[in-house]
Structure 1
Amino acid sequence: MKILIVYSCVLLMGMAVTTSAKTLASSPDEKVDMEKNQTIDELASGPEYDESNGGNKRAKRYVNNYYGKLDFNCPSLDSISGIRSCHHNRHEDRKFGFNCKKTFQYNPICETRRDKTWVNNFGQRFTYTCPNDSVIAGIISDHNNHHQDRQFAFKCCQSQFYQKLNGCYWTGYVNLFDQYFEWQPKSGYYLAGVSSEHNNHYEDRRFKFYACSMTLHIT
């Protein structure tokens, strides 16, 4: 099951990992797991952004290592427009990648929650929405090996002028435990909140997202 899950991360990225039947038959599970994980890292590497898809900037690589700190910020006029994540059973951790899109005409006003203001404790469910009709433009996260879990904090930004969120909706859970996911809001909507719960058996999290359309008046 664990080998299939690791394979799914690569398949859903649109790439295929090929390993001979002879190698699979003769290699210990941990060695195979490690080799596949290395291949995933190689396939996910590349330029930080691919801007070929209109105004949607796709970060072509994961922005954190397993066990490593995640500290991601979109370009100054952008907010997060997509999230993808792959779980690894041996590491019991996730890597994350993000898309960003143009959101503001001028540099926004941003509020960042840093290390001592995490939105969750380890093992804890959380639901967080940005204050003051702002949207998420950055994410911070740190992993703890004892708890096999992550804490999260979010950078929220709003226009210098008038900004109002409308038509907001919560998704259902976008992933099962141990499962790869890739999510983006509906066209014209912006990420404004995240909800997540941890499961001690799987040592993993599943996620919901809160998205809104935005009225922006610049005079």
Structure 2
Amino acid sequence: MKTVALLLLLTGLLAPGQGYKSSYKGSVYFVCPSGQSIGAMASEHSYYHHDRTWVFVCRDTYGRSGCYWTDFANDFEQLILFECPAQHVIAGMSSYYSNTYKDRRWNFYCCKSPSVSANCHWTKYLNNFTEYFLWAVPTANLLVGVHSYHQNQQEDRRWAYKYCERNNR
């Protein structure tokens, strides 16, 4: 229930964004509409499922072209340290779950955008293991990177994100 209310809240805050919510242990496949990139996300961990649900919301990127899916950015239980190439934004995310590893492999949908500046920052970790988190890309910024590591004892990941200022072209 918390994530449904959150999806409604995020969609309202980021209108005209598009929203998506995944299920535990199911595949994640989310791509923002043309002209948008991921502007916010939330994730909730379940001890029972040993997995997270994900909520993604898009917002305007002001120009987007040349989109493509990357190869997987991680193996199960391994580090993710991913950035789209320069002048690209993350406009989609995809993953699949393994019952054996109780983890996911992720790949990303990168799109070229003239709006991305070189002034970029990493967030601190947004969650401790097994905690819920909600994060919106700061206003006038665009999502470009993901950092995450897995811990077997918790059967979960911690997450941080890289964002860059948007050019005013």
CA distance in structure 2 between the aligned counterparts of 1:171 and 1:139, rounded to whole angstroms: 18
The residue that corresponds to 2:158 in the other structure is: 206
Q: Relative to structure 2, which stretch is displaced further, 96-105 or 121-130?
A: 96-105
In structure 2, list runs of 5 or more residues that go unmatched: none
CA distance in structure 2 between the aligned counterparts of 1:48 and 1:138, rounded to whole angstroms: 19
Change (3 A) 1:183 1:65: same
The residue that corresponds to 1:112 in the other structure is: 69
CA distance in structure 2 between the aligned counterparts of 1:186 and 1:54, rounded to whole angstroms: 11
CA distance in structure 2 between the aligned counterparts of 1:182 and 1:164, rounded to whole angstroms: 23
Higher strand share: 2
Change (3 A) 1:85 1:52: closer
Please list the CA deviations of residues 83-110 of structure 1 after superposition, one character each: whole Å capped at 9, or x if unmatched.
10000001100110011111134x5221
CA distance in structure 1 between the aligned counterparts of 2:79 and 2:36, rounded to whole angstroms: 28
The 5-angstrom pairing of residues 36-185 of structure 1 reads 44=4, 52-53=12-13, 55=15, 57=17, 59=19, 62=21, 64-105=22-63, 108-113=65-70, 117-159=71-113, 162-185=114-137
In structure 1, list runs of 5 or more residues that go unmatched: 1-9, 14-42
- Largest Rg, 1 or 2: 1
**Over the residues paired in the alignment, what is the CA RMSD in angstroms?**
2.3
Aligned AA (1:134): H
Higher helix share: 1
CA distance in structure 1 between the aligned counterparts of 2:95 and 2:8, rounded to whole angstroms: 19
Please list the CA deviations of residues 41-70 of structure 1 after superposition, one character each: whole Å capped at 9, or x if unmatched.
xx728x9997543645262x52x2111100
Change (3 A) 1:90 1:128: same
TM-score (norm 2): 0.89
